[in-house]
Amino acid sequence: MRAVRLCVAASAVLLCAAAQAQTVSLSGSMGNKALLVIDGTPRTLAAGNVHSGVKLVSVNANDAVVEINGKRLALTAGGTPVNLGGAASEGSGSQIVLNAVSGGHFVSSGSINGKAVRFMVDTGATFISMGQQEADRIGLNYRSGTRGYSQTANGPVQVYRTTLDSVRVGDVQVFNIEAVIMPMPMDVVLLGNSFLSRFQMRRDNDVMRLEKR
């Protein structure tokens, strides 16, 4: 009888594991509901709902936060799918595919040092750039970095230059990336050339492909 119970328990674990989502992305939103693409299938979830182990925590016009296995991830509408399982979850991928959103910008969810952020590609930025408020939120020790100045539309501002341990977009992760921390609030983290130079870039209309060098 004990062996039967163990077998049943093992089967339940296997079924639960099989039910876990492998990929998730945000296609859009409708009020307090998000249109998630889970393992390639569109699913509409309201905040608090769970499907295939993916729980929708919150949603707004362009972003959503989901939770799986106790870990929260930020998703951006039109961003590359996030792989949740297998070797790719370690950031071992080699290609990032981004779709343009309204305004022609390329945005994506991702992470810095394992903390969820929202990125926007900026080929005119020398470094990855973010506001101090965002840097504080994700726990960067940027004040121990090098101080400098950056020219903005409102004149020169003092910035901090630091090195990020890891930057991840989708299944691709790179390490030791230079960044600058700006004093003004910024809605997104700008993916500048300190990150982009690690990739071969190709754009086909509204699709951008970044192939790891």
**What is the three-class DSSP state of 1?**
coil
Q: How many CB atoms sit inside 10 A of residue 125's CB?
A: 18
User: What number is the average pLDDT over the span 103-124?
Assistant: 90
Which residue did the predictor score with more confidence, 65 or 167? 167
Spatial CB neighbours of 168, under 8 Å, sequence gap ≥ 6: 91, 110, 111, 112, 174
At 41, is the pLDDT very low, low, confident or very high (cuts 50, 70, 90)?
confident
Instruction: Quick: pLDDT tens for 184-198.
Output: 999 999 999 999 999
What are the backbone angles phi and psi of residue 138, rounded to the nearest 5°? -95, 5
pLDDT tens profile 50-98:
988 889 988 887 778 888 877 777 787 766 677 665 434 456 788 998 8
d(CA 20, CA 41): 14
Closest CA to 77 of 57, 106, 56, 49: 106
Residue 10 has pLDDT above 60, yes or no: no
How many percent of the chain have pLDDT more than 70?
85
Question: What local confidence, expressed as pLDDT, does residue 18 receive?
Answer: 42
Question: Does residue 30 register a pLDDT over 80?
Answer: yes
Q: Phi and psi for 193 in degrees, rounded to 5?
A: -75, -15
Domains of the chain by range and CATH? 20-77 (no CATH), 90-213 (2.40.70.10)
Lowest mean per-residue pLDDT among 21-35, 150-164, 188-202: 21-35
If residue 133 lies in a helix (H) or strand (E), which one and from where to where? helix 132-137
For the segment 129-138, what is each residue's pLDDT rounded down to a tens digit?
Answer: 999 999 999 9
Quote the mean pLDDT of the chain: 83
Q: CB-based contacts of 92: which residues, under 8 Å, 6+ apart?
A: 171, 173
For residue 135, what pLDDT is reported?
96
Q: What is the pLDDT of residue 164?
A: 96
pLDDT over threshold 90, residue 167:
yes
Looking at residue 59, what is its pLDDT?
87
Local confidence band at 2 (pLDDT 50, 70, 90 cut-offs): very low
Single-letter amino acid, residue 157: V
Per-residue model confidence (pLDDT) at position 75: 81
- Residue 192 has which token pair? 């500048």
Report the distance separating Cα 209 and Cα 200, nearest Å.
8
70 phi, psi to nearest 5 deg: 80, 0
> How far apart (Å, rounded) are the C-alpha atoms in residues 172 and 177?
14
Residues making up the chain, counted from first to last: 213
Question: Which secondary-structure segment (H or E) carries 7?
Answer: helix 2-19
